Amino acid sequence: MKPKTVPKSKMKKEILLIGYIPAILWGKASEKVYIYVHGKMGRKESAEQFAKIAESKGYQTLSFDLPEHGERTGKAYRCDVWNGMRDLNAIADHVFGRWNQVSLFANSLGAYFALNAYADRPFAKCLFKSPIVDMKWLVEHMMTWSGVTEKQLEEKREIETNIDTLRWDYYQYIQTHPITKWPIATSILYGGRDDLQPLESLQSFADKFHCRLTVSERSGHSFMDPSESGIVEQWLLENV
């Protein structure tokens, strides 16, 4: 049987401003929509390939720029869990009031924000690509990789590293807010060479919340190698 492919036709897209958040609505009119949450270093335009597949399945896609990303680079509004949750909820309030069926796609850091913001939202289904499900593990390993101790972080409150900025308030939040609720039917794509989350964390999350976990053994966190585009595309075609 000939494998399915992504449609090549030009997509309709509408540029939006939802409150203060730049966004794009992709695809022809439908009663079904995906909220697309990009990851670190992404932007709302990153959703185009996903949106093409979603449209072929009868969905529109709403993507937006997270704080400090895309059109919001350079703004005095940092990309942390509090601002991430605030923005994701603003987007959800807009979307749930306008579409009959809402689903979710989130990538990497965007998935972590979604896990904190969306556990009580009635999504039809959810897709996570390389999700950060254990932020405590990641931050503590970033501290180790950068030679920063917990005591140093508490004293200085904020430390710049070659990887990212470590912040005490963020570290305190993730320690006191583990993910304990996620009732949404979820499929996950994870790279077996992901160095930002261990397989054990993903497997534990999938088991606890009854998620469908697909592991691409030779892929890294970003799935950016050209040879991996087909892996992501096929997973989306099977799960959107």
33 shares its domain with 120: yes
Among the residue ranges 49-58, 97-106, 159-168, 179-188, the one predicted with the least confidence is: 159-168
Residue 44 lies in a domain: yes
Average pLDDT, the chain: 94
173 shares its domain with 81: no
Domain CATH for 52 = 3.40.50.1820
85 shares its domain with 174: no
What is the C-alpha separation between 91 and 35, in angstroms, rounded?
A: 8
76 shares its domain with 170: no
158 shares its domain with 234: no
Number of structural domains (the chain) is: 2
Asked whether the beta carbons of 63 and 133 are under 8 A apart, the reply is: no
Label each residue of the chain as H, E or C.
CCCCCCCCCCCCEEEEEECCEEEEEECCCCCEEEEEECCCCCCHHHHHHHHHHHHHCCCEEEEECCCCCHHHCCCCCCCCHHHHHHHHHHHHHHHHCCCCEEEEEEECHHHHHHHHHCCCCCCCCEEEECCCCCHHHHHHHHHHHHCCCHHHHHHHCEEECCCCEEEHHHHHHHHHCCCCCCCCCEEEEEECCCCCCCHHHHHHHHHHHCCEEEEECCCCCCCCCHHHHHHHHHHHHHHC
Judge whether residue 9 has pLDDT over 70.
Answer: no
11, burial (CB in 10 Å: exposed 0-12, middle 13-18, buried 19+): middle
151 shares its domain with 64: no
User: What is the token pair recorded at 172?
Assistant: 């305190």
Residue 5 lies in a domain: no
120 shares its domain with 213: yes
User: What is the token pair recorded at 103?
Assistant: 């689903």
Judge whether residue 144 has pLDDT over 90.
Answer: yes
Residue 92 lies in a domain: yes
52 shares its domain with 158: no
* pLDDT bracket for residue 58 (50, 70, 90): very high
pTM: 0.93
120 shares its domain with 211: yes
Q: What is the pLDDT of residue 161?
A: 87
Domain boundary among 147, 178, 209: 178
145 shares its domain with 191: no
Domain residues for the domain of 163 are 134-178
Residue 84 lies in a domain: yes
φ/ψ region of 108 (left if φ > 0, alpha if ψ in -120 to 50, else beta) reads left
Residue 188 lies in a domain: yes
154 shares its domain with 93: no
Q: Name the one residue in this structure whose structure tokens are 């897709």.
A: 127
Closest alpha carbon to 122 in 103, 97, 143, 141:
103
CA distances from 231 to 15, 155, 223 (A): 29, 45, 9
51 shares its domain with 99: yes
Judge whether residue 6 has pLDDT over 70.
Answer: no
Label each residue of 112-146 as H, E or C.
HHHHHHCCCCCCCCEEEECCCCCHHHHHHHHHHHH
Q: Could you tell me which residues come within 8 angstroms of residue 194 by beta carbon, excluding any fewer than 6 positions away? A: 130, 219, 220, 221
Q: For 116-129, what is each residue's pLDDT tens digit?
A: 999 999 999 999 99
